[in-house]
Structure 1
Amino acid sequence: KEQILTQYILHHTLDEAEVGELAERLDRALAKAEALHAGQRRKTGEEYIWHPVRTAMEVSRYGRIVDWASVEAALLHDTVEDTDYREEDLRREFPEAAPLVEALTKIKDSRILTYQRLFSYVLQDIRVLLVKLADRLDNLESLSVFRRDKQVRIARESAEMYANICRRLCMLDLAERLTEKIGPILYPEAFERFRAAQEELKKGWARPLEDLRQKLAEAFPGDLQARIEFRWNRFRPDVPPTTEHLFTVRIVTASSEDAYRALGRVHLNFRALPGGFSDTLSTPRKNGFRALETRVSYQGRILSFYVAPAPADRFNRLGLLAMDITSPEFNLEYLEELREFLQNEEMDIQDFLRFHKPDAIQVTSPRGDVFSLEEGATALDYAFAVHEQLGLRALGARVNDEEVGLGTLLKPGDRIEIVTADGPVADDRYLDWAHTRKALAALRRYMRRKEAARAAATGRQWVMEAARARGLGEEQVDARAQDRARELGDIPVDELYRRVCLGEEEIDGVLGPGPAGGRLSLFRRRRSQPVRKVRRYVFDDPHIRFCPECAPVEGDEIVGVPEEGRLRVHRVVCPRVAEGGGVPLDWDRGGRGDLRDPGTVEIEVRLQDGPGVLYGVLAAFRDLGLDIQRIQLPRGNEVLTARIQPGSDRTLNRLMRSLRRHGFVKEIRVFPGLENAGSPGGSDAGRPAGGEP
């Protein structure tokens, strides 16, 4: 108890009365936690109360970024989840700590929901994250009592999520502590090699290290700090340990000007390595890290030097913990990015984990502006980092005066120029070339707007076709559409037409009951009045999909079922369609009809394993005289993939019918071949969303 209070007082200016009040509050919170956790023991056998006490001790060290409510929340953080303590009682007895405890209470659901809730609270109150980090640090101490698989799961989560968050917020000391705890669990052999290499270097290179200390003392006399640090922050499980990874020479100066002078002394006394210098002191990373870093040669080994003025060095180590909770500007850029990220409806857990990795590279524009991007960023990511419209209009890029594709990976120091069109040209292929969260989010927003506009245009076309059959003019249709949009809550007319396209709104709802009696089910019986027309093997229509199980082709009687904002086309006899359900559809036989050449296509056939299966599938291609340009035979997941040029829709329809007759064929999907997909900049394109996932 005394340690908690003492650590807190060290970082806060308090008078005697305030200290007395905090001591009373600490007694009350500690007594409540002790009473609620009475009789509970951890897997290690110790009394449970010691876990929240150690968590509170950790939080009390976090400086002015936390307040006393944070300490109370640390003491009480498991009470609602692990005892019969009710949230309403918590709010009444500890009103300041209650919101933090509620945010920390786990959701027994998917990981992404848990993290979404946690970080939605972080946006409102950063203290939630700090208490969670303290909780995780203490939990890692007792991992050895769990099964190996649980140890690995918790350690990996700590590495992917919490250590990366610490780096993103420049809390590098905390990140290093996490790494030191989880390294032996996730990478036992690599971690032991790194530890052994450090010990061996300390012993076997003792004389050179002493010479280095002497040389540093001569080069940096007086009160300038220059010390050799053996730390874990350079541990990389996939990189063999070398001298530059095992220790760093850290030089701390009084000012930025002194830091540049110190760097000059380093390069005068040690031979600098080409390409080994980095200046983030003048151009900070997005997480606020500022330092001069250089690699030099000394007695046949490569050494890493770090030079920073004292204020920057303190922030580099503590990051967010070096700030004051009352300061409105602490890491606002990070929190704003997090807010934007959490509002992305298409976020998945891998996106979330990648978002928290710190930026790794810096590149420049033709004007010399510096942009920080995460590792793995492409030329397209750079375009979106400059401006969203630049990314949407991008056609290609020049990196260091060399023309490259938009999917080209960038390296530190690259100079990039984007080649643009007059207007937006982005399509689904751009999603394959983007890596950063900002670029992916912008592309998905644009695709949604684009799909909505196309769906609205298609819906209006279908309404106009039905209106002409009833003798209605365009002005009458527009008037009725506006009336219907008002009935639905003053939605935009384009939104009404989009709903028509996706089967969410009936055409009769727009035009009023027609001669068919006003019931969509009658359209199925009256095939002379089709409601919608669709075309097979048109891969650029983002709001139409075809069921892979029933594999409809031209000539089948079909219906559409709204599904996740799109229309899924099924055969009427498909078991996935309820009897009489779905939106009536018909085939678009306009133009050349089934003689149209779909170009190169790829067919995926999901099979049920059994004798003669492969022969039966290949016979279907052989009987139609189709040459298979490329084939990937079933393995493991029983999927056969073949690339062909059928020559016409009719031939492709015949192949589909032949395949689906076999009972061992479970699903058939058709995608455009690479020749059809195309790709600016020379990069291969992935399958566009207009295929049949």
Structure 2
Amino acid sequence: MEVVPAKKLTDVVDDGSVPPYVQALEDRVGAYLPREQVLRIRRAFLIGAAAHDGQTRKSGEPYITHPVAVAQVLAELGLDAETIIAAILHDTLEDTKLARDELAGEFGETVAELVDGVTKLDKMRFSSRQEADAESFRKMLLAMARDLRVILIKLSDRLHNMRTLGAKDGESRRRIARETLEIYAPIAQRLGMNKFKAELQDLGFKALYPDRHRIIGERIRAALGNRREAMAKIEMALEGRLAAEKIPGRAVSRIKSAWSIYSKMRGEHKSFAQLMDVYGFRVITDSAMHCYMALGAVHGLYKPVDARFKDFIAIPKGNGYQSLHTVLLGPFGAPIEIQIRTSEMESVAERGVAAHWAYKSDSGPANSAQARAREWLSALADSQANTPSAAEFLENVKIDLFPDEVYLFTPRGEIFSLPRNATALDFAYAVHTDVGDHAVAARVDKKLVPLRTRLISGQQVEIITAPSAVPNPAWLEAVVTGKARTAIRQYLKHLQHEDAVDFGHRMLDRALDARGLSLDSVPAAALDRFLDDAKLKRLEELLSEIALGNRFADQVATQLVALLGPREGSHPQAPPEHNAEKIRISGAERGVLSFGNCCHPLPGDEIVGFLSSGKGIVVHRVECPNVVEFRKTPERIVAIEWDRDVQGDYRAELRIEVLNRPGVLATVAAAIADAGSNIENVEYIERDSTAATLLFAIEVKDRKHLADVMRRVRRTGVVSGVYRHPL
């Protein structure tokens, strides 16, 4: 009996006829690609249609219409054949029986990698939907770092999905719209693809807030109806001035989008009228030199507004965007926003990395945008290598997608672009991780400033370092860039590991000491056997696990003694002695120690430690009400005490009863400050016409310092009682 081989999806035959939407795609790509490439694209459609046969979209249309529409979006950008083919087949690996090796065999490894780059991770398991989305997003960005065409396919896929979002249910529409506004539109902007960004924002706004979108749209149309004549006059005046100066160019009026108006109304607390009371125009000319000449011409026509000029031609934005921006006082008493650029700059501004696509070419403005995009993606790839959590990585990416940037100079004249609200510490990490890790201060325009200082475009920044300086947890609140945040967290995790190893060593030694042993006296063979049984690679892992509360020192000590076997005169299973020496803490072990918010222990207090799994040791005062509950699990109790030399500042709370009269709060605050204490927070607990009770959160060095603060507060004459809180 003859065995007939199974028919493959790639065994399709071209009968010469294709649906009209495929013919439209072929006509578009045929305008810039050779015939043989158009035929490859047709074959991709035939294989894709066979693979998706029987599948439909929510709208009821055949599923293949979606990937072909995505390919059409990319064809409008003039993308190469491999990108168009990958777009047509971008859902086949996930949703059909088409295998990757078949795909690679038919169209080449590059197409297979592009399709793989945009394939979702639905089959993988994650602890939450948010983490699944973040992990999928991380994979996409790493694929982007290898080949920029991946994100062009992904953005085109998202754009077509947004155009056809009406078929989805309400909850899905809102989720997809929010993701589009938070992630995909900012990515399009970061890559300089402003046309994509604008449509994604408009569609996302319409899906997420349909009523707001409709109302603002109606008001924009009404406002434009009242100003068309005025805009036409300004346009004619601009073009007339260019002609008089013999500068080739044209002027085009610009209309703000509903989303940009809504965002500014919300973010800048402005009314609709304030935002629409601005005329926007774009002047397009043929060279950078004529851009500057056009700037002079329009400044001669209308008076410029001081400090509102920006030169993004000499200093392009991080996404390759180039233009001159200026604001003029118009003839109708309203500001006129003018953008001046060349037609080539206009193309890059609209399409970013996709403009004049020449993959891996070495010249041209479009390639400049691609180079900047690759630099950004390469930095993201480095960041993710040091960020184990997908959700944390996604958070860092969102931070890096700020739409506004500041441009800063080193003393040598190098330019760095950072997100809005970036600080001197962000700048330090942008220069180099080692510079950030050892930064102590900065000179901004030659003036000494703290690292937390926010920077403004055009400033010259110099970072002052010291070999002994190291990051601290408070730095995380002083940075906005993903690179700085990742580097600081990486250092703190390393610090926590070192502290945990040291503290775990002390805890295990204490437990072994109660059994007449020390860690150094345990034979290497017995220790290796224990580590092997516990599936740990090194002793440091065991010690860290003990300090972080994942293992108990007493149990480990008992197991180690048991491995050694009975020894003469010893009691291997004897419990720890109650008078065993306590572990001393200096406060420098912040990587493994935290201090209970329920009782705020201070140096000088009698204290006890409680092991919290995965977090380490939480320090409490012995008289803390929670300690009674903790003693029900004695294996988690750690006997600790303060060392003679204690470091750092510690949070304490004071309950202060005062006379309710003007100036009391300032008087008490001044007394606390005079005692050398920093106030973190203050709130009223109770208040009536004659008296009030205040709760101050302050920083002190120890019990003695706290007592000094309380004495000074009592002497103010406006206080009837001062108590440490909680009592």
TM-score bin, normalised by smaller chain? 0.7 to 0.9
Q: Kindly tell me: are residues 523 and 163 of structure 1, through their superposed partners in 2, closer, same or farther at Cα, counting changes over 3 Å?
A: farther
Distance 2:43 2:699 in 1: 82
2:187 to 126, 151, 165: 165
2:323 to 291, 294, 301: 291
2:341 is aligned with 1:316:
no
Measure how far apart 1:647 and its partner are: 10
Measure how far apart 1:62 and its partner are: 3.0
2:583 is aligned with 1:533:
yes
Which residue does 1:375 correspond to in 2?
Answer: 420
Work out whether residues 362 and 371 of structure 1, in 8 Å CA contact, stay in contact via their aligned partners in 2.
Answer: yes
SS state of the match for residue 252, structure 1?
Answer: strand
2:134 is aligned with 1:85:
no
Of residues 287-296 and 88-97 in structure 1, the stretch that sits farther from structure 2 once superposed is 88-97
Which residue does 1:543 correspond to in 2?
Answer: 592
2:359 is aligned with 1:325:
yes
Measure how far apart 1:326 and its partner are: 4.0
Q: Aligned partner of 2:431: which letter? A: V
Q: Aligned partner of 2:81: which letter? A: D
2:378 is aligned with 1:336:
yes
Measure how far apart 1:171 and its partner are: 0.9
TM-score by length of 1: 0.72
Q: Aligned partner of 1:23: which letter? A: R
Alignment of 1:37-76 (within 5 A): 37=55, 40-42=56-58, 44-64=59-79, 66-68=80-82, 70-76=83-89
Measure how far apart 1:546 and its partner are: 6.8
RCO comparison, higher one (Cα < 8 Å, 6+): 1
Q: Aligned partner of 2:281: which letter? A: V
Distance 2:446 2:401 in 1: 32
Q: Kindly tell me: are residues 523 and 416 of structure 1, through their superposed partners in 2, closer, same or farther at Cα, counting changes over 3 Å?
A: farther
Of residues 483-492 and 403-412 in structure 1, the stretch that sits farther from structure 2 once superposed is 483-492
Of residues 317-326 and 427-436 in structure 1, the stretch that sits farther from structure 2 once superposed is 317-326
Which residue does 2:638 correspond to in 1?
Answer: 585
Which residue does 2:10 correspond to in 1?
Answer: none
Which residue does 2:297 correspond to in 1?
Answer: 265
Work out whether residues 140 and 182 of structure 1, in 8 Å CA contact, stay in contact via their aligned partners in 2.
Answer: yes
RMSD across aligned C-alpha pairs, in angstroms?
5.0
SS state of the match for residue 236, structure 1?
Answer: helix
1:350 to 391, 395, 401: 395
Distance 1:376 1:482 in 2: 56
Distance 1:187 1:576 in 2: 54
Structure 1, unaligned runs of 5 or more: 605-627, 635-640, 652-671, 676-693
Q: Percent identity?
A: 23
Distance 1:306 1:194 in 2: 24
Q: Kindly tell me: are residues 36 and 397 of structure 1, through their superposed partners in 2, closer, same or farther at Cα, counting changes over 3 Å?
A: same
Distance 2:529 2:617 in 1: 21
Distance 2:526 2:342 in 1: 66
Which residue does 1:10 correspond to in 2?
Answer: 31
SS state of the match for residue 248, structure 1?
Answer: strand
Distance 1:194 1:412 in 2: 32
Work out whether residues 317 and 417 of structure 2, in 8 Å CA contact, stay in contact via their aligned partners in 1.
Answer: yes
1:230 to 247, 251, 254: 254
**TM-superposition CA deviations, 1:279-299 (whole Å, max 9, x none):** 121112221112211111111
Q: Aligned partner of 1:2: which letter? A: Q
SS state of the match for residue 235, structure 1?
Answer: helix
Measure how far apart 1:339 and its partner are: 0.5
Q: Aligned partner of 1:301: which letter? A: A
Distance 1:151 1:248 in 2: 32
Which residue does 2:269 correspond to in 1?
Answer: none
1:24 to 34, 40, 43: 43
Q: Kindly tell me: are residues 644 and 485 of structure 1, through their superposed partners in 2, closer, same or farther at Cα, counting changes over 3 Å?
A: farther
1:128 to 150, 159, 166: 150
2:452 to 374, 399, 407: 407
TM-score by length of 2: 0.69
Which residue does 1:363 correspond to in 2?
Answer: 408
Work out whether residues 278 and 292 of structure 1, in 8 Å CA contact, stay in contact via their aligned partners in 2.
Answer: yes
Distance 2:280 2:346 in 1: 14
Which residue does 1:277 correspond to in 2?
Answer: 309
Measure how far apart 1:522 and its partner are: 4.5
Structure 2, unaligned runs of 5 or more: 1-21, 266-271, 363-369, 621-625, 656-679, 687-693, 710-727
Which residue does 1:179 correspond to in 2?
Answer: 201
Of residues 284-293 and 409-418 in structure 1, the stretch that sits farther from structure 2 once superposed is 409-418
Work out whether residues 534 and 588 of structure 1, in 8 Å CA contact, stay in contact via their aligned partners in 2.
Answer: yes
Alignment of 1:199-598 (within 5 A): 199-221=221-243, 224-232=248-256, 235-237=260-262, 238-239=264-265, 240=272, 248-299=280-331, 300-322=333-355, 323-327=357-361, 330=371, 331-343=373-385, 344-346=387-389, 347=392, 349-365=394-410, 369-397=414-442, 399=444, 404-418=449-463, 420-421=465-466, 423-459=468-504, 498=544, 501-502=547-548, 522=573, 524-529=575-580, 533=583, 538=587, 541-545=590-594, 560=611, 562-563=613-614, 566-567=616-617, 585-588=638-641, 591=644
